[in-house]
Structure 1
Amino acid sequence: MRSGALEMGSEVAKGAASGPVNRGAAVVDFFLRVFAIIATLGSAIAMGTTNETLPFFTQFIRFRAKYTDLPMFTFFVVANSVVSAYLVLSLALSIFHIMRSRAHASRIVLIFFDAGMLALLTAGASAAAAIVYLAHKGNSRANWIAICQQFNSFCERISGSLIGSFGGILIFVVLILLSAVALSRR
């Protein structure tokens, strides 16, 4: 009988100890989501406002580079925008997890949606990274010339927007792992 009381007491102590741990994980989750919003929204804005015009021989003929010229960059902007909107909406659940650290069903739903957004963000960043690589290096076999010698400002902005997006990918990985750890501490 006494061992049963000890086991029950250890369960209560274990539950009491996991409460502050889960609350701390929820607070970290909230701040990581805010940082991910900044990274993905900044990437979408940087890519979406990128264009550069170079004069040719006369003022009437100009070369222009815009993000809409390549569908991969458009997909990148849309993917980062969708992920940013999702992150803003998910802040409500993150706040709910701070207030009720023992909520498990909503945390499971959040993990699934986080994984879906991670896949979307990775797809958009990977597609854009392939084109950025071609813009910097070119490909002589496919007759792609490296345009970054001419469109320097354009290439700097698209490369910078990739950094924010890949930062968002890393934050999503940490968010998923953090939620999984919080669920395992029940």
Structure 2
Amino acid sequence: MPIVLKNSQVAAVIDTWLARRQLSAILDAVRCPDYDLAVWLTTDRRIRLMNNSFRRVNKPTDILSFPTNEHLTPGTIPDPQLKALGDIIISVPYVIRQGFDVKHRLPVLFTHGVCHLLGYDHETDDDYDKMKAREDAILERLAELDLVDRDRIRDEPIIESPSDMYVDREKLRHPRETDDLPKVLSS
């Protein structure tokens, strides 16, 4: 199965069936339905350790993305031989502290993370505009499939802060604190 979803947090009850359907629809929308994707829903402590290991920022964040295929041009399909997009890590307690309803925020973050795995970024205004347009199109598709509430996500910011970060996959091979990596990421 191309989607691995690991939920190791207890701050919120997660409808994993819905989350998998959302992730599958996102992969369909980006034309990568058979690609592997690992998503880890975790705690502030774990994401803080990973953020410190890979970005040297010793604080929690909402999302980290680890692409398998580096240096992709946004909008291109990754190497079909690899059939792997990468890994997304989300701190559910961080999302709650931001005041979001987890049920409605997770598909937005899933979409944001997948876009990072496909080479999109938001370092410049032009990059931001391209990424936001792609995210909006994906979320609209999820709404058409009744996998998200269009009214609840319409005005929700996708890029909440510069705290979410694309992380170079090479750094994943040499982490400082490997004991905190999820099994799906270290295999």
TM range (shorter): under 0.3
Of Structure 1 and Structure 2, which has the larger fraction of its residues in strand?
A: 2
Structure 2 length-normalised TM:
0.22
Of Structure 1 and Structure 2, which has the larger fraction of its residues in helix?
A: 1
Structure 1 length-normalised TM:
0.22
Greater RCO (Cα-Cα under 8 Å, separation 6 or more): 1
